[in-house]
Amino acid sequence: MSLDAIIGHENIKKQINNSIKNNRFSHGSIIVGEDGIGKSLIAREIAVRLIGKTIVREYGDIIQYRVKNNKKSIGIDEIRSLIEEINKKPIEGDTKVVIIYNSHLITEVAQNAFLKTIEEPPKGVFIILLCENINKLLDTVKSRCEVYKLNKLNVEEIKNFILNKKEFNLDESKLNSAIAFSDGIPGRAEKFIEDKLMKEIRDISLDIIVNLNKLDRYNYIYKYENLLLKYKNDFDELFTCILSYVRDALVYKETGRKELLLNIDKLSIIRDISEKFSFIKLSKIIDIVNSAKNKSNTNVNFTLVCDSMLIKMQEV
């Protein structure tokens, strides 16, 4: 694969190709975008080009740094260790590329310690920061780097991305569902198609809505409170799935058009929900789930968040 073979991000790819071709690629770069948007694909292609290779694989002069297991941040000790690695001479040639994943997790103290290295790395060293939330990076870091912002792919680009993956072999219904669910992010399309955990999350999310009117409060809470703990580390996907089904029920209730649904593969169930739930109830459920999602992002106890969400949904 080459940069040109990556689907989408045409302006960014053109900018990067020109800067590398003219030896103007910055020694400090930030690639910004949502998880699954293609940051690492682009970074690895850049790295391979910079060290003078053509095939993407492991090379001694491409260092890929990821957050260590069970850590939620990249601290000053990790950055000091990384700086030591950066200052070592390249192994094969005269160029070294350092790719830092989830750079938005670098603490403020560690970012300050990293500033001088980003601004004046050793000769031949390129540092690429991959970042989901650029607001977490200090202005002093951003000002020393070239920033590339990756936007979501359009529907046609996502469709081409999926069809290019011959191993998927999807029927039209599943293809349309994957396109809709992806929300313009290739990684979400892949997750929708391949990830067994994603299938579980989709199923349990739909089950939560379907059984709202079928179980009393005690049995409803008892059935789901412990079950949801399994997805504590994937809470964003969980709440997003619930919201997508409720949104589909609202859309179908108002328009009756199945082609507008995100979860078109669940059409019959969504139709049933739209018939049994009022506009007011569906709208209130969306508010409740959005509130739970926001609280989970602020590290509120996940069990309490889920219990509160389930109780409020029952009360609507």
Average pLDDT, the chain: 91
- The DSSP code sequence of 63-124 is EEE-PPTT-SSB-HHHHHHHHHHHTSPPSSSS-EEEEETTGGGB-HHHHHHHHHHHHSPPTT
pLDDT at 297 over 90: no
pLDDT in tens, 34-79: 999 999 999 999 999 999 998 889 999 999 999 887 788 999 999 9
Q: Output the pLDDT for position 121.
A: 94
In sequence order, what are the beta bridge partners of 129?
30, 100
Nearest 5°: the CA angle 186, 48, 117 is 100
Please report, rounded to a whole number, the percentage of residues in the chain having pLDDT higher than 90: 63
Q: Is the pLDDT of residue 1 over 70?
A: no
With a CB cutoff of 8 Å and minimum separation 6, the contacts of 99 are 40, 43, 44, 47, 62, 63, 64, 65, 128, 130
Tens of pLDDT along 254-263? 999 988 888 8
CA distance 138 to 165: 38
pLDDT classification of 191: cutoffs 50, 70, 90: confident
pLDDT score at 233: 82
Domain boundaries, given as residue ranges, for the chain? 3-149, 195-315
Percentage of the chain with pLDDT > 70? 99
What's the pLDDT band for 288 if we cut at 50, 70, 90?
Answer: very high
Q: Residue with structure tokens 């929300």?
A: 183
pLDDT at 128: 98
Higher pLDDT, 250 or 297: 250
The domain at 3-149 falls in which architecture?
Answer: 3-Layer(aba) Sandwich (3.40)
Fold for the domain defined by 195-315: Zinc Finger, Delta Prime; domain 3 (1.20.272)
pLDDT exceeds 90 at position 207: yes
Q: Is pLDDT of 220 > 90?
A: no
